């Protein structure tokens, strides 16, 4: 079974991108083939969420200075650099969690991540149009990877 985890903060503009992707994947996928979870808050909770899972897909908003809506994809087998190693919108970033999981031997057998470059982060901000478009793009790509309907 595949596990999809959308990370973000609702009502914080582009930071909700991962949560929206998770919603769309849940709507397209069969619960027998894909489990979808949302994570709001401390990314260290990823260690518990993916415990025992063999194939995990994580989606989060990133802040690296690239144009809003830029989509990144990473393989957890590689060291996270660039946009995933920069300042996170969360206290403990995705790169930190992946590094810790690797050091503890708790990294899933396959970890794939998608990052969506954001622009608007404050409470009450709307999602920027570029990020909303990227949410659709990542949702479609992820459904193709998971081989589920869109």
Looking at residue 77, its pLDDT comes to 75
Output the pTM of the full model.
Answer: 0.89
Number of structural domains in the chain: 1
In angstroms, the CA 2 to CA 23 distance is: 15
Q: In what order do the strands lie in the sheet with 71-75?
A: 34-39, 2-7, 55-62, 110-117, 71-75
pLDDT value of position 9: 93
CATH number of the domain within which 59 lies = 3.40.50.1450
Q: Tokens 């994570």 identify what position?
A: 39
At residue 44, does pLDDT exceed 90? no
* Residue 88 structural domain: 2-146
pLDDT at 30: 81
Residue written as tokens 């830029």? 70
């Amino acid at each position: 079974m595949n596990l999809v985890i959308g990370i973000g903060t609702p009502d914080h503009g582009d930071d909700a991108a991962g949560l929206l992707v998770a919603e769309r994947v849940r709507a397209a996928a069969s619960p027998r083939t894909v489990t979808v979870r949302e994570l709001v808050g401390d990314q260290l909770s990823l260690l518990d969420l993916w415990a025992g899972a063999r194939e995990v897909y994580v989606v989060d908003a990133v802040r690296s200075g690239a144009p809003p809506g830029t989509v990144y994809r990473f393989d957890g087998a590689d060291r996270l650099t660039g946009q995933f190693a920069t300042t996170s919108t969360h206290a403990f970033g995705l790169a930190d969690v992946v590094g810790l999981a690797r050091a503890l031997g708790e990294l899933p057998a396959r970890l794939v991540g998608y990052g969506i470059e954001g622009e608007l982060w404050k409470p009450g901000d709307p999602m920027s149009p570029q990020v909303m478009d990227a949410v659709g793009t990542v949702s479609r790509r992820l459904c193709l990877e998971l081989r589920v309907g869109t």
